[in-house]
Amino acid sequence: MTEDADLAALYAEPFRLAWPDDPRAPFVFASPHSGRHYPRNFVAKSKLGPLSLRRSEDAFVDGLFAHVLDLGAPLIAARFPRAYCDVNRSPAELDAAMFDGRLPGAIDTTSPRVNAGLGVIPRIVRDGAEIYRDKLPWREAEERLSKLYRPYHAALTRLIEMTHARHGVAVLIDCHSMPSAAVVPDIVLGDRYGMSASPLLMRYAERVFEARGFSVARNAPYAGGYTTHLHGRPLRGVHALQIEINRALYLDEERIEPAPRFEKFRASLEDAIGELVAIDRALLMPSGSRDIPLAAE
């Protein structure tokens, strides 16, 4: 057991699950990268200060999507930070060079994400800075996977299964944010190039955001990660769509604080998500082939 009280608290509650009183929507929302509870031992072992460690966060994304409860959809949000354990990676995406001793189990030695330092236990933060001073004990990798990673994915899997059993279809919306840049659109929708969600859902989501004045791109530069790959089975009526939000729309990226426009953006996002959740569920069935009605057109 760890002597770090912060880490013990994370192990006791690795994620927050908010469940609606009336689960009437066939949607599940997940925020895997908005966790901001940093174990003291982790910060002490790092080369980086607290603000630099937070560069990998999808800061406040869980708050942006908190309203989905009122729409009848659950929201699961990791409490641990992405820089500590990234649940949008395969558990095999481990960098053996980061650890003392031999890691147990299979390791994906071909993963470009691991090679870039962004495996399930990241070596760097998003701006490229190295996290650790020294190698980690190999047992620490297994502890993070068993106490944080696996409980999160088990809970998410149950949510999707329960939603599918209740409604006959299920849509996972994996909620993220992306660093701002001149060439980055407002919203990037990722369906792994059509593999994790139906074309009808993608097209509908695209139109919903565009109708509110947002610039939207498909699958570039983010096509969806491990979570959409794992859960998206559109031929079974289970869809997984990743949403990336340009941080310039709501965040002071230097201070990692809500920007003055936070509430205005959140209201626009709530409108868009409300319309997305109201999609005709016949369009989500494996046989759905009708054209997409959209009142805002």
For 185-203, how does the pLDDT look when each residue is reduced to its tens digit (9 = 90+)? Answer: 999 999 999 999 999 999 9
Count of alpha carbons within 13 Å of 186, Cβ hemisphere only? 14
Mean pLDDT in residue range 211-232: 97
CA distance 190 to 204: 13
Residue 51, pLDDT > 60, answer yes
> Mean pLDDT in the chain?
93
The pLDDT of residue 287 is 65
pLDDT band at 288 (very low <50, low <70, confident <90, very high): very low
CA distance 67 to 172: 16
The pLDDT of residue 132 is 96
pLDDT tens for 165-178 read: 999 999 999 999 99
Question: Is 292 within the bounds of a domain?
Answer: no
The pLDDT of residue 62 is 98
Question: Is 128 within the bounds of a domain?
Answer: no
Domain that holds residue 268: 9-36+55-82+138-284
pLDDT tens for 98-157 read: 999 888 777 888 899 999 999 999 999 988 899 999 999 999 999 999 999 999 999 999
Residue by residue, DSSP assigns 81-115 as: -TTT--TTS-TT---GGGEESPPPS---TT-HHHH
pLDDT tens for 13-22 read: 999 999 999 9
Mean pLDDT in residue range 198-214: 97
CATH number of the domain enclosing 195: 3.40.630.40
Residue 2, pLDDT > 80, answer no
Mean pLDDT in residue range 34-58: 94
CA distance 145 to 227: 15
Question: Is 163 within the bounds of a domain?
Answer: yes
Count the domains in the chain.
1
31 touches 65 (CB < 8 A): yes
pLDDT tens for 222-260 read: 999 999 999 999 999 999 999 999 999 999 999 999 999
Question: Is 16 within the bounds of a domain?
Answer: yes
pTM of the model as a whole: 0.94
The pLDDT of residue 109 is 83
